[in-house]
Chains A and B, each alone.
Chain A
């Protein structure tokens, strides 16, 4: 496998992070100025083409709703994508490694790695006698 993705910092990530940080502060200051200053001041300066002030409230409500909604939808998607109690995915899924047929038992080689049988694990853990 080639380079696996890792969360370590790198120079590209540092530049992107700094740019997003400065841009978000800048956007927030512009938003506050546009939302709070009266329209006359804009026209005196010369800016006449800007969005209607209604959108300042709409954007604020959208951000709050998205915050609450994303948290809720994340929890709901988690609950939906979980297998139910009677599905066989809880015992075997696409990552389990089943025991291959025994080829040669006589050698001293290390046997191949496989997943333990669940009933064997249950007997060892939960019953008093081990078969």
Chain B
């Protein structure tokens, strides 16, 4: 079981850890990308500043229903952010089986997409637009009853081109050995 890993950067500058694991005599390749959660300082600082400002305005001196309402809104916002924030994305490709993309969120929720190998056509590094930037992303070409569609991989974590080249070099031979 071969294993290689390291750390790289996001397009926004955050640090990501990556691992490339070959299982079962190089028949199954797994590419894993994980976000290091280091933003705790930023959140604690913002919380202190905002509670100081709220106490300065005098939110706690008015009727307590307003304070309760604001606290509930804040709590819902935090829960929604934890529900949607991606912690790890993992792509597992098996020889003559298919490709599986697993997305793990911060609260532990996992979503999975599996494409069987008779539908996979190709894997590419494509360029596209995301919030007024041009980014490189890894994408899978799928043949759905004759017309092609694309499945972008790693779009929640968005690594940079150097890591995408490394993943491409490892995933391309596995996908094309199926043919």
B residues at A contact (CB < 8 Å)? 122, 124-132, 137, 139, 148-152, 155, 164-165, 168-169, 172
The 6 closest A-B pairs by CB, nearest first: A82-B129, A85-B128, A86-B150, A85-B152, A122-B124, A126-B165
A86 and B149 contact, CB distance less than 8 A? yes
A118 neighbours in B (Cβ, 8 Å):
124, 126
- Contact of B126 (CB < 8 Å), options: A90, A123, A127: A90
A11 contacts partner chain B, Cβ-Cβ < 8 Å: no
Q: What's the A-B contact tally at a CB cutoff of 8 Å? A: 49
A71 contacts partner chain B, Cβ-Cβ < 8 Å: no
B148 neighbours in A (Cβ, 8 Å):
88
| 13 A/B residue pairs, CB under 8 Å, sorted by A | A79-B131, A82-B129, A83-B129, A88-B148, A88-B149, A88-B150, A90-B150, A91-B150, A118-B126, A119-B122, A119-B124, A126-B168, A126-B169
Closest A residue to B172 by beta carbon equals: A127
Main SS of the interface on chain B?
strand
A87 neighbours in B (Cβ, 8 Å):
150
Interface residues on A, range: 20 to 34
A residues at B contact (CB < 8 Å)? 75, 78-79, 82-88, 90-91, 118-119, 122-123, 125-128
Docked complex Cα distance between A126 and B126 (Å): 11
A79 neighbours in B (Cβ, 8 Å):
131-132
Closest B residue to A91 by beta carbon equals: B126
B124 and A90 contact, CB distance less than 8 A? no
B132 neighbours in A (Cβ, 8 Å):
75, 78-79
Closest A residue to B124 by beta carbon equals: A122
B150 and A127 contact, CB distance less than 8 A? no
B78 to chain A, nearest CB (A): 27
Say yes or no: A126-B128 contact (C-beta < 8 A), given A86-B149, A88-B148: no
